[in-house]
Structure 1
Amino acid sequence: MRGQDLINAVLPDELILEIFNRLDDSKSTRDSSSLVCKRWSNLERLNRRSLRIGVSGSPDSLVKLLLQKFVNVRSVCLDVRLPITAPSQFGPSVGRRFRRRPSSQKKRRYGNVAAGSSAKFHVSPSGSSEEIDLEQNSLSDAGLAALSEATKLEKLSLVWCSNVTSMGLKSIAEKCGSLKSLDLQGCYIGDLGLAAVGQCCKHLEDLNLQFCEGLTDTGLVELAIGCGKSLRILGIAACAKITDISLEAVGSHCISLHTLSLDSESIMNKGILSVAQGCRMLKVLKLQSINVTDEALQAVGKFCSSLELLALYRFQRFTDRSLCAIGNGCKKLRCLTLNDCYFLSDEGLQAIGAGCAELSHLEVNGCHNIGTFGLESIGKFCRKLSELALWYCQRIGNNALSEIGRGCKFLQALHLVDCANIGDDAIYDIAQGCRDLKKLHIRRCYEVGDKAIIAVGENCKHLTDLSLRFCDRIGDDALIAVGQGCPSLRHLNVSGCHQIGDAGLTAIARGCPQLVHLDVSVLQHLTDIALAEVGEGCPLLNEIILSHCRQITDVGITHLVNKCTRLEACHMVYCPSVTSAGVATMVSSCANLKKLLVEKWKISQRTRRRAGSIISYVSIDL
């Protein structure tokens, strides 16, 4: 009945808490729930499980205050890259201490805290105003000591918290024995802190040690001994003092490890051999810049039969023998990435095709000795392939993709970059055979023209993402076919396709009403007519890139913004016929605008005054 509260008067706290448990964990949803009434605010604080906090400025006291408000948090992310805010809900003292300078144009974000590390704030601890550089203030061991009072903590991310030491990490380890996930990326943590985690956190499953330059084998060995039974995921990168000794300990104690990421020049064959022999449950292996040879990867193929994902980056010391071993032993392999592996050839890829029938994702990037024959074997044998990416593959020709089109009926995503020998016939066969294609990205493939994209428009009715960057043989006929045949298209990028003009874009506007992202930069023949059609036919558009479109004027901008009320981002640098009046129209008409990129001189004083709440980035003179 009107005027009566039929929820708070009837529902007990336990039932409302159960409702909160069923909400998604997004900040906006949680904040909206807490604004209903004071009772809901208090209950939501008790129920909130995760916090994301920026650690520039003076975060130690802020961490303590947040934990007093949210006493049951399970997950905390402390990241120097997050934006800092001064949320009023945390009390007047915080609002006074963390106050933006009036000239700041960054939009406030309430709830979960922080801003770029180069920003400056006024801090008034004793009534006087003092400006400090946030780069000089970050989370310290005192902040971690306060955080350690969250004894139910299960997930902790300390990203680029360079001021914390082993003592702070030790305080966390000693009080937060339930910790399952720990991210120490960019922290200068020593062996003492990591050893304490190994001794106290017996449930640790996920550990990230990227850019932890203070660590040596001593700390990681102690952790492997202490957490070996529970550790599932381990990432190591740019830790120069970690050697094969650490991986030998991992191989001996972490028998349940299923994900290993390594980027190191200090690891040799011995370490990878130990992991392969000891961690038989390994499912994900990512290796980069490691001085290993065929011997190590042959061991992976021999012992790691459960491997599902293998990513190899910049390897120059192994050959096709490694991939042959993977193809023979890893029958469950689903995802394979080969990046700048110069000594691999068709023989290795043929072994993968013949042996790994479950393969669904393949990326080949800069492997210059892999050609048509290797990829043909993938098309013949890997019937479950759903995503294929070929970057800088100059030796792969049309026949390879034609075989993919014939054999891989479930292909949904195709990425081609600088593949000089791939042309219309290849894409035509893909379109004919892969009718469920949803994403097609082609960049600088100069042999691809209208014939290929017309076939895509006629056959790939479920296409949602099309990018044709700098394919200068593609013109209006291609876009007309896409507009008529792909009504679900949401993302379109035709930047640098000089033959495309108003007719092609008009067809897209009339046939693709779900379009949300459009990039038509560097199209010299595009005029206001096309923008008017986009405004009329694409009401969901939230991002448009118009840079270097010389014939677009203020009139076209006006037509666009009158109908595209959801527009959030617009780039229109080097549009000489767009004036300050057009920019003002964009700013005044688009209530949801968050980013506008234009030349500085086109921003009038009146527009600049309004830009504080609308524009988040304005370029300097370009």
Structure 2
Amino acid sequence: MGQYPSTSSSSVELNRRDTPPSEGLGLGWDHGLDLPSIPPESSAVPDLGRADDDAGGGVDFTSELPDECLAHVFHFLGSGDRKRCSLVCRRWLRVDGESRHRLSLDAQADLLNFIPPIFARYDSISKLSLRCDRKSISINDDALILIALRCTSLSRLKLRGCRELTDLGIAAFSQHAKNLRKFSCGSCSLGAGAVNAILDHCTGLEEISIKRLRGIHDGAELIGPGVAAKSLKSICLKEIINGQCFGPLIIGAKGLKTLKLIRCLGDWDSILQTIGSSTPSLIEVHFERIQLSDAGLAGISHCKGIEILHIVKIPECSNLGLCSIAENCTQLRKFYIDGWRINRIGDEGLVAIAKQCPNLQELVLIGVNATHSSLSLIASNCPKLERLALCGSDAIRDAEIACIATKCEALRKLCIKGCPITDVGIESLALGCPNLVKIKVRKCRGVSNQVAEWLRERKGSLIFNLDAETEDEIGVQESAVEFAPMFAQQAAAPDVPSSSNDRSTMFRAKLGLFAGRNFVACTFRRWSNGENSSGGNL
């Protein structure tokens, strides 16, 4: 969502696919709308319902159309069209304002003066995003409290770059935002007190996402679940220096279903060992670039209901941890591993997954040297496997691809990137995988354009995307896999010892967190029916 300066012609950005009141609320595309300079009751706004046919005016055929239907029509219009329609007459202006449920504002300091007229017109806003760029002064506590008083139906709040907000302001806001269900905060100066205030006052809070909060540092107060302990379902922590202060929150959220820990410093083993026995409801887990060992994986494996697991660039996780996951998490459906090419995860762990997780539908292996022995077992024991990605592995050759073609009958989508396969391996796919609808091959120098044309002729309905690049480019550019999840850059990493005397030192040296700021992005997108479609979310 873009932002617009909050001047006298303040611009407001809202959701294009916002569902009508009869269908509830939903996330979707965004489009902008300028607040009209004419007040709603101004005589300058024409009333089409009173048009005089004798005077040459037209008949307003929308006068008998219910407001709900008119609002539904507005939702299909683009940014400019909806803005112009809101100025046609007083009724259209009112319906447009009442049917808006999502708003994105440029949260600079002068927004304070425009909050009353904005929320007088858009009085049904339930999803609000406040963003401020780094070079500007953001709104302060007074503006946020005024928003809470004016926007009584607010259920989702997203704060980005609002550095003038304080813990006291968030505490006052939370006392008026009783209906808040989703709270996201990033790049602000808030501390543990602000997060605790949200958790202590918002009884229906379901999702909380915290990213780069400057006030959370070593020695910060602990963050507990508060009154949201029973309702909280999703916790996402990104780039937190002292993430361990969230330990009581993670452990105390008894109904937690989704946990994401991404680039957060500190040792997470002890917290995850505790959560394994206290949070049986956990379904989705994402770990990326955190200090975690096999002991932590063994702890989280006691959450036997886990269906989605991402383990991304965690150097201390090995086959032993995967064996613990396989033994307990037998309902696993989606498994994503980025082994960072350090050879600690391989056939042994994948064989355990194949033997214990028959419901596997999606498997993504990056920098993991899986050979014929493990892939054959996965293909045989996981009959529901529909999506498979093999990236950056020297062990994936024609024999492994032939094995997949022979045994993966349910496979629909296959991605191969940076593997030493040849035309022979691609040809084998034409003889197997009867349900295969899409193949994407990138940076595999042994695959030629000739085999691509041959495969298209042999299987006309098959979508085959070939991007053969040089080996030097492998691991540097984006690796786009057009099914969920998609993944981006892969950085080649040197081999590291299988053990370390100083875990913290090795972890910081390996990841370089908060020093170089050169984080390798992992981007997730939806595979649509078209070849070049992509999706985004709030």
Shift of 1:416: 1.2
Q: Structure 2 vs 1, CA of residues 444 and 343 (structure 1 numbering), >3 Å: closer, same or farther?
A: same
- State the SS of the aligned residue for 1:235: strand
Highest RCO, 1 vs 2 (Cα 8 Å, sep ≥ 6): 2
Contact 1:456–1:482 (8 Å) recurs in 2? no
Task: Map residues 142-291 of structure 1 onto 2, 5 A cutoff.
Answer: 150-151=92-93, 153=95, 176-177=97-98, 179-184=100-105, 190-198=111-119, 201-211=122-132, 215-228=139-152, 230-290=153-213, 291=215
Correspondent of 1:304 among 194, 209, 229: 229
What's the CA shift for 1:53?
A: 8.6
Which residues of structure 1 form unaligned runs of 5+?
1-24, 27-49, 78-110, 115-137, 155-175, 551-591, 596-622
From 413, 419, 432, the equivalent of 1:497 is 419
Q: Paired residue for 1:72, among 70, 78, 90?
A: 70
Deviations 1:280-337 (A, max 9, x none): 2211000001122576653236753321100001111242x532x1344211000001
**Equivalent position of 2:364 in the other structure:** 441
> Could you say which residue in structure 2 is the equivalent of 1:432?
355
Please point out which of 325, 340, 347 is paired with 2:263: 340
What corresponds to 2:483 in structure 1?
Answer: none
Tell me the TM-score normalized by structure 1: 0.60
Pair 299,196 (structure 1): closer, same or farther in 2 beyond 3 Å: farther
2:53 is matched with none
Contact 1:232-1:256 within 8 A present in 2 as well? yes
Number of equivalenced pairs: 420
Q: What TM-score comes out, normalization by structure 2 length? A: 0.68
Deviation string 1:227-247 (CA, Å, 9 cap, x unpaired) is 34x221111111223332431
Give the direction of change, closer, same or farther, for the CA distance of 1:492–1:248 in structure 2 (3 Å limit).
same
3-state DSSP class of the match of 1:373? Answer: helix
Map 1:77-96 to 2 at 5 A. Answer: none
Note the alpha carbon deviations across 1:369-407, whole angstroms, 9 max, x for none: 21101011222x211111111111000011111111121
Q: Distance in 2 between matches of 1:54 and 1:416?
A: 36
* Residue 225 (structure 1) shift: 1.8
Contact 2:422 2:447 in 1 (8 A): yes
* C-alpha distance in structure 2 between counterparts of 1:472 and 1:539, whole Å: 30
- Deviation for aligned residue 1:352: 1.9
Aligned identity (percent) is 21
Check the 8 A contact 1:242/1:266 in 2, yes or no. yes
In the aligned structure 2, how far is the partner of 1:220 from the partner of 1:75? 32
Higher mean alpha-carbon deviation, 412-421 vs 391-400, is at 412-421
| Alpha-carbon shift at residue 503 of structure 1 (Å) | 3.1
Instruction: Name the SS for the 1:299 alignment partner.
Output: coil
Deviation at 1:139?
A: 11
For residues 512 and 69 of structure 1, the distance between their equivalents in structure 2, rounded to whole angstroms, comes to 56
CA RMSD in angstroms, aligned pairs only: 4.0
Q: Which has the larger radius of gyration?
A: 1
CA separation of 1:198 and 1:365: change in aligned 2, threshold 3 A: same
Contact 1:327 1:351 in 2 (8 A): no
The answer for the alignment partner of 1:133 in structure 2 is: none
Question: What letter corresponds to residue 489 of structure 1 in structure 2?
Answer: L
Structure 1 runs of 4+ with >4 Å offset: 50-56, 67-71, 74-77, 111-114, 138-149, 151-154, 185-189, 197-202, 293-297, 592-595
Out of 310, 315, 318, which is 2:240 matched to?
315
- Equivalent residue letter for 1:344: D
Q: Report the AA paired with residue 546 of structure 1.
A: D
Distance 1:204 1:540, change over 3 A: same
Residues 539-573 of structure 1: CA deviation (Å, up to 9, x unaligned): 333350232389xxxxxxxxxxxxxxxxxxxxxxx
Q: 1:490 to 1:202 in 2, by over 3 A?
A: same
The amino acid that maps onto 1:150 is W
**Conserved? CA contact 2:445–2:468, under 8 Å:** no
Residue identity opposite 1:361 in structure 2:
E
1:593 offset after TM fit, Å? 9.9
Taking a change above 3 Å as real, the CA distance of residues 152 and 74 of structure 1, as seen in their structure-2 partners, is farther
Paired with 2:255 and 2:98, the residues of 1 have a C-alpha distance of 35
